[in-house]
Amino acid sequence: MNSIEKNKLPKHIAVILDGNGRWAQLRNLPRSEGHRKGGENLKRFIDDILELQIPYISLYAFSTENWKRPKTEIHSLWKLMLEFFAKYLEECIEKKICIKISGDITKLPKSNQEIINEAINKTKKNKHLYVNFCINYGSQQEIINAINQILEIKINQFQQTGQIKKINKKEFEKYLYTYPLPPVDLLIRPGGEYRISNFLLWQCAYAELYFTKTLWPDFSKEDLYNALEWYSKRERRFGGLLSIK
């Protein structure tokens, strides 16, 4: 594995953890086995990220659209998530990881909400790596949620002052679940689909998009390095011009 220049590494990587079900089906295993294996791979992936000293990762674990799945699968996902946090919370604390959640977790089983809140509270002062778990997350819902919060504030403002002060991009971003994380530099989607599936639409405005057929449970350190090497060769222009050499 080649080493990549540190200044060419992304600051914020987002990953769509896709392909667990197919991984299991290919082995004649129940889909839940794929999710379990995906969880194990996630733990390994976080260690790779720590080693690389990348400061922010966002992980798409359950979308607002995933409620369309059979109840049994959803139930197994909550069970695995509970086990994941119970098993690794202490290690996250030791490794100075800050756990953040994006999404509406009030729709999750009580025990999941409790362990997530415990994880947030016990890691909130950590600064080594921000791990943003996107759970019951949908980007469109996130934006509507932000607008509704702003509406409420603006109605109050109008009632008190008779005026409404317009907001700008920076102020708007304060109402997104992901605040105060920086924009996504690199979005990785394993599993072979070439779509965003309602993930971080605002935050990925200028992200580099990396798609691979590898299913998430098989996504290895080598796959990560391949993605990073590809990323290091991108010329990010942000609407400007190519740098003159």
The verdict on 203 binding ligand IPE (CB under 6 A) reads no
Closest CA to 231 of 204, 213, 208: 208
Active site residue 18: yes
Binding mask 75-114 for ligand IPE (x = CB under 6 A): --x-------------------------------------
Based on the shown chain and the rule CB under 5 A, indicate whether residue 15 belongs to the binding site for Mg ion: no
Q: Which of 12, 17, 18, 137 binds Mg ion (CB under 5 A)?
A: 18
Q: By CB under 6 A, tell whether 195 contacts ligand IPE.
A: yes
Q: Contacting ligand IPE (CB under 6 A), which of 9, 30, 66, 225? A: 66
DSSP string, 148-208: HHHHHHHHHHHHHHS------HHHHHTTSTTTTSPPPSEEEE-SS--S-TTSSTTTTTT-E
Give min distance, CB of 57 to Mg ion, in A.
19
117 is known as an active-site residue? no
Task: Return the residue of 14, 46, 49, 61 that touches ligand IPE, per CB under 6 A.
Answer: 61
Tokens of 30: 């129940």
Q: Which residues lie below 8 Å from residue 26, measured CB to CB, with a gap of 6+?
A: 215
Marked catalytic residue, from 66, 145, 198, 226: 66
Q: Per the structure block, which two tokens stand in for 168?
A: 């700008």
Distances (CA, A) of 169 to 96, 175, 238: 31, 11, 16
Catalytic residues: 18, 66
